[in-house]
């Protein structure tokens, strides 16, 4: 099945986007890049929907897009709204959903979400003003602790607070500038962490990252070194559960640190737009190929669902038409009395048969019960 794949990304020449394009084209798919800044999304005022999207004033038609792969960097709420429009409003399958993007882009919301699902995380605090710095340090389990901006990737916006003087000086400056910070207890792993790459609910690649000398951040993008490792089934399950909790099971980079004191991994954060270059080069795993596999899977599922719905609707319409004919023939109603006679019967019938006729119940319940007239029924039965 040849697909029309839309990659929404600011940087089509990045390693990840070139690899995705390469893997998709190997399989005969068409790939198009669109910059999210060039998109205009329109929510229709029509009850039936008809929401639209435009790229540089040219309309994008649903029939021309089989699946989208969002690769949106640093756009926060705007980026997630773009994906929501294509995925939810226009019903186009997406390898990443908008809720996952929103959760993962906010370090505090990500940690809060993980905690809700009983997934181990470092102790984490947020506040945009502090009267007592000693209280904050105490909640962060003492010096040193980590301070992060709410948004940021590839190690940006992350600092370590090692002394009372440095803490007070830095935080006073941040708070005066109205910068919201997240504080986390420092887990001493000698500058090492683990990146587990989840695609379609499975861990497809893992690497250990080590910080360069003089830095505690291990991100490959800022000079960290990577090595291939194998996680236990229990550790893989933790990464999978973390991605699922953050609604990012489709594509997610899960960052983990081993807490020796608690003898367990803790999830540091989840990334819904993870880089591919480090993980592919270190592990030799074709991660881009796994993502295209997943894109093919959800696009084919959409096609199957559409075919099944069309077949089911045809069958349901025939059965439902027989039911309506029986009512019309037994009551011989006039146009102005039809609503009174049919409404309670139709409401009861659809409510009782919702599971048997899901498409009809969803598509016809409101128009039938709110606006029943003879012409409507004739049109339905035609």
Tens digit of each residue's pLDDT (9 = 90 or more) over 68-94: 999 998 888 899 999 999 999 999 999
pLDDT, tens only, 26-52: 999 999 999 999 999 999 887 666 899
| Backbone torsions φ then ψ of 227, nearest 5 degrees | -145, 145
Cβ atoms of 358 and 325 within 8 Å: the answer is no
The C-alpha atoms of residue 256 and residue 238 are separated, in whole angstroms, by 9
Secondary structure (DSSP) of 60-120 = EPGGG-SEEEEE--S-HHHHHHHHHIIIIIS---BSS-HHHHHHHHSHHHHHHHHHHTT--
Q: What per-residue confidence (pLDDT) applies to 178? A: 74
Whole-angstrom distance, CA of residue 217 vs CA of residue 187: 12
Give per-residue burial for 318-345: e unless 16+ CB within 10 Å, then b.
eebeeebeebbeeeebeeeebbebbeee
Domain boundaries, the chain: 4-95, 191-285, 296-381
- 46, β-bridge pairs: 49
Selected residue with higher pLDDT from 119 and 144: 119
High-pLDDT (> 70) share of the chain, %? 73
CA distances for 219 relative to 189, 208, 209, angstroms: 14, 10, 7
In 150-190, which ranges are continuous DSSP H helix?
A: 164-176
Residue 361 pLDDT exceeds 70: no
The percentage of the chain sitting over the pLDDT mark of 90, rounded to a whole number, equals: 49
The number of angstroms, rounded, from the C-alpha of 124 to the middle of its chain's C-alpha atoms is 23
CA 58 to chain centre: 26
User: Residues near 248 by Cβ (< 8 Å), separated by ≥ 6?
Assistant: 96, 97, 100, 101, 103, 104, 198, 270, 272
pLDDT band at 259 (very low <50, low <70, confident <90, very high): confident
Nearest to 226 by CA among 257, 195, 201: 195
Angle between helices 287-331 and 358-370 (to 10 degrees): 50
Going across the sheet that includes 251-259, the strands are: 225-228, 202-210, 192-199, 251-259, 264-271
Contacts of 51 (CB under 8 A, 6+ apart): 41, 42, 43, 44, 85, 89, 90
CATH superfamily assigned to domain 191-285? ATP-grasp fold, B domain (3.30.470.20)
Backbone angles phi, psi at 63, to 5 degrees: -65, -20
Residue keyed to tokens 């093919």: 296
Are 20 and 71 within 8 A, CB to CB? yes
Structural class in CATH, domain 4-95: alpha beta
Predicted local confidence at residue 39, as pLDDT? 96
Instruction: Reply yes or no on whether the pLDDT at 155 is more than 70.
Output: no
How far apart (Å, rounded) are the C-alpha atoms in residues 198 and 244? Answer: 10
Q: Enter the pTM of the model.
A: 0.74
Output the pLDDT for position 154.
Answer: 62
Q: Which of 24-38, 184-198, 269-283 shows the lowest mean pLDDT across its residues?
A: 184-198
Cis status of the peptide bond prior to 144, with omega within 30 of 0:
yes
* Angstrom distance (rounded) from CA 77 to CA 139: 29
Asked whether residue 126 carries a pLDDT value surpassing 90, the answer given is: no
Find the length of the chain.
382
pLDDT attached to residue 350:
59
Question: What residues have CB less than 8 Å from 323, skipping those under 6 apart?
Answer: 349
pLDDT band at 331; cut points 50, 70, 90: low
Which value, in Å, is the radius of gyration of the alpha carbons in the chain? 27
The tokens for 309 are: 């719905």
């Amino acid at each position: 099945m040849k697909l029309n794949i839309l990659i929404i990304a600011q940087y089509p020449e990045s390693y990840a986007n070139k690899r995705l394009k390469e893997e998709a084209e190997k399989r005969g798919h068409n790939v198009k890049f669109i910059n999210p800044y060039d998109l205009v999304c329109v929510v229709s005022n029509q009850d039936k929907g008809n929401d639209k999207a435009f790229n540089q004033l040219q309309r994008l038609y649903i029939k021309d897009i089989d699946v989208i792969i969002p690769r949106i960097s640093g756009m926060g709420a705007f980026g997630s709204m773009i994906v929501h429009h294509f995925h939810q409003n226009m019903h186009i399958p997406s390898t990443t959903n908008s809720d996952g993007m929103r959760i993962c882009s906010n370090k505090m919301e990500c940690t809060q979400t993980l905690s809700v699902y009983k997934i181990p995380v470092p102790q984490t605090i947020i506040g945009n003003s502090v009267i007592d710095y000693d209280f904050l340090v105490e909640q962060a389990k003492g010096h040193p602790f980590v301070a992060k901006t709410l948004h940021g990737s590839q190690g940006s916006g992350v600092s370590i607070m090692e002394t009372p003087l440095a803490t007070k000086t830095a935080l006073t400056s941040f708070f005066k500038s109205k910068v919201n910070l997240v504080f986390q207890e420092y887990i001493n792993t000698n500058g090492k962490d683990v990146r587990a790459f989840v695609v379609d609910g499975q861990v497809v690649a893992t690497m250990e990252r080590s910080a360069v000398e003089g830095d505690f951040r291990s991100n490959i993008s800022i000079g960290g070194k990577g090595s291939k490792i194998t996680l236990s089934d229990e550790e893989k399950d933790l990464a999978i559960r973390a991605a699922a909790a953050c609604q990012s099971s489709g594509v997610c980079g899960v960052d983990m640190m081993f807490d020796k004191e608690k003898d367990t991994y803790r999830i540091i954060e989840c990334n819904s737009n993870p880089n591919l270059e480090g993980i592919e080069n270190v592990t030799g795993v074709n991660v881009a190929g796994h993502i295209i596999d997943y894109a093919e899977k959800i696009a084919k599922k959409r096609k199957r669902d559409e075919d099944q719905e069309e077949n089911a609707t045809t069958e349901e319409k025939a059965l439902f038409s027989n039911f309506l004919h029986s009512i019309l023939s037994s009551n011989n109603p006039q146009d102005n009395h039809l609503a009174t006679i049919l409404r309670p019967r139709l409401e009861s019938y659809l409510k009782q048969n919702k599971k048997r006729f899901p498409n009809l119940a969803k598509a016809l319940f409101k128009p039938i019960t709110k606006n029943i007239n003879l012409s409507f029924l004739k049109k339905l039965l035609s």
